[in-house]
Amino acid sequence: MNGSSDLRIFSGSAHVQLAQDIAAYLGQPLGDAIVTSFPDGETFVKINDNVRDRDVFIVQPTCPPSNHNIMELLIMVDAIRRASAQRITAVIPFFGYARQDRKDQPRVPITAKLVANILAASGVNRVLTMDLHAQQLQGFFDIPVDHLYAMPVMVDYISKKKIENLVVVAPDVGGVKMASAYAEALGAGLAIVVKRRRTATEVDALHVIGEVEGKNVLIIDDITETAGTLTSAAKMLRTRGVGDIYAGVSHAVLTDLAVQRLEGSEIKELITTDSVPVRQGSGDRVRVLSIAELLGEGIRRIHGGESVSSLFRLKHS
């Protein structure tokens, strides 16, 4: 790799395994840093490697515990900036607070914009992320954002399963664009479940728009935490006479409630990525695909001043 001696990859504590896999793909050692906490909970960071005039990438999804992981990232950025790094790129496979992207009630914050401002103020020069909850979040940043998609990795896996009579289902109206892209890539039909959210953890699925009877279905979403949307959509689809039900989710931030719901659900397999550490004990239904190569290639191209957009192409196309 040209200029690889100038490249440094560090990891916060949020997802060390992913950072190690990315570094291995790039043929680089993971940067030497101490990231720990004082007894009172304050984060302490010490960068042991020389980063002066280096191109530094910090891998840190801001998944739960979100506030801790964001603060840890900010402190790492500050330490590296003060050590005279040439450029700092925050590699945030899962961007927490992305759903707080607008004022949908009086007197509420737009926290996604706040986090974007804080990252830039701390010294981040560039952000590499994947499958943001809403595309317009890129505009919240006043620094460059490279936005990758898990779709090539997911479609490659799903295509190899050779599921017949497949229909891709959007679990809500907001997910139609993403589901439509998957349907086109897989040569499948498209349907929509119309839902109503009762609380943060409870969702009612109301109607299915599209032909699903006698079909195998793939529910596509960007994130699941409680699995309420997925399992209620699957329940509704089962009443419409579908065959096998699969779900594909870019970010599986699974809670205890999600694991319970998935175990008792109609979903045969939940296909996701390692954008966040997928919790132990998630059951046999969860299939985790690696995005280390995707992110590693993104890092390689950013470092080399190459285009990142060709990563959006599907592997089999």
Among left, alpha and beta (phi > 0; psi -120 to 50; other), residue 305 is left
Pair of tokens at residue 163? 């599921």
- Joined together, the tokens standing for residue 160 give 């190899």
Q: Regarding beta strands 126-130 and 145-148, do their DSSP bridges make them parallel or antiparallel, or are they unpaired?
A: parallel
Buried b (16+ CB within 10 A) or exposed e, 68-101: bbbbbbbbbbebbbeeebebbbbbbbbbbbbebb
140 vs 95: CA distance, rounded Å: 13
Q: What is the dihedral sign for C-alpha 238, 240, 241, 242?
A: negative
Q: Is 103 a catalytic site residue?
A: no
Element (H, E) at 223: strand 216-224
> Any bridge partners for residue 25, and if so which?
none
Q: Give CA–CA dist 230/287, Å, rounded.
A: 15
Choosing from 103, 160, 195, 268, the catalytic residue is 195
Which of the residues are catalytic? 195
